[in-house]
Amino acid sequence: MYSIRMHASRQGAHLSGAERLGGRQDLESLAAALLRRALEHPRGEAEQIVLTVEALPAEAVASGRLPDLTTLCVADYRQGRQAALRLLVAAGVREVAASLAIEALAQGASPTGGNMRGAMLVDADSGERLEPDRARGVRASRMDLAPGAELQLRLRLAERGLDNPHVREALVLAAKVLSAPGVVAELCWSDDPDYTAGYVATPFGGYQRMPHLKPAGEERGGRAFFIRRAGLDLPALIDYLEHAALLITEVGRINGEIEWEN
């Protein structure tokens, strides 16, 4: 199996990233799809595109399951962020830590006020940011859907009107993050200006999607991984997120919509 990863930039800033796992026979089609994605990004055409292809020993690829998905209907991004705050606190993140992370994503989490290439790594108790490089962040990598799981997922998502790359890829990434030791929760909303949805993912609550976590047209977005530091080997966690390979072979439940109540 091979890992193929794409990173696109424009005017020196991160624009887009995506990745897949596949066999040797899949590399050409996967590379073409990733290149097309970089060239057709809503925030403009990429000026630099880097593709990285890496062979993975079969025994190095673990299998996993997607978290269950639930959509929480919120009126707007303000209510969405209130809901995200409550979900994070319910998962064990202290309110101060959740609030700091939401504010950082809203203001632009990189030192320049733009988007990070990867995610913030946030202490779930104090809100302290722990990623070694605040511009790059920590990038969850080397994960994908097995062909059978992908077909099953697309059929289930289509029944709910949710079969799009944003949801599919976010579910896979959330599965990788939640499988990591010490992770309490994940918060994410997209940096694509025409996609306002985001989610909170937790080991017990699954993938809780909100249609609105930012205003339409907003280009600032990103991810925060909340961790509990007690007894945690932080370098080992980062290594797992960035280098361990995970192939999703089992699909979780795709639940209906729930009206969010303040």
What's the pLDDT tens digit per position in 5-54?
998 887 777 777 788 999 999 999 999 999 888 887 766 677 788 999 99
Residue 140's pLDDT band (boundaries 50, 70, 90)?
Answer: very high
Both tokens of residue 106?
A: 């809203």
* pLDDT attached to residue 137: 94
Give tens-digit pLDDT for 227-258.
998 889 999 999 999 999 999 999 999 999 99
Cα dihedral 106, 108, 111, 116 sign: positive
Check residues 16 and 196 and name the one with the higher pLDDT: 196
**Which pLDDT belongs to residue 191?**
87
pLDDT of 160 strictly over 90: yes
The predicted pLDDT at position 114 comes to 86
Radius of gyration of the chain, Cα coordinates, nearest whole angstrom: 17
Residue 128 confidence class, pLDDT cut points 50, 70, 90? very high
Q: What is the 3-state secondary structure (H, E, C) of the chain?
A: CEEEEEEEEECCEEEEEEEEEECHHHHHHHHHHHHHHHHCCCCCCCCEEEEEEEECCHHHEEEEECCCEEEEECCCHHHHHHHHHHHHHHCCCCHHHHHHHHHHHHHCCCCCCCCCCCEEEEECCCCCECCCCCCCCECCCCEEECHHHHHHHHHHHHHCCCCCHHHHHHHHHHHHHHCCCCEEEEEEECCCCCCCCEEEEECCCEEEEECCCCCCCCCCCEEEEEECCCCCCHHHHHHHHHHCEEEEEECCCEEEEEECCC
Whole-angstrom Cα distance, residue 94 to residue 117?
25
Mean pLDDT of 109-131: 92
pLDDT average, residue stretch 53-74: 95
Per-residue pLDDT at 237 = 97
Q: Is the predicted pLDDT of residue 219 greater than 80, yes or no?
A: yes
Q: Are 129 and 121 contacting, i.e. CB atoms less than 8 angstroms apart?
A: yes
pLDDT at 157 over 90: yes
Name the more confident of 43 and 64.
Answer: 64
Q: Between these two residues, 14 and 149, which has the higher pLDDT value?
A: 149
Give per-residue pLDDT as tens, 92-113: 999 999 999 999 999 998 998 8
When pLDDT is averaged across residues 176-189 and rounded to a whole number, the result is: 97
Average pLDDT, the chain: 93
pLDDT at 126: 96
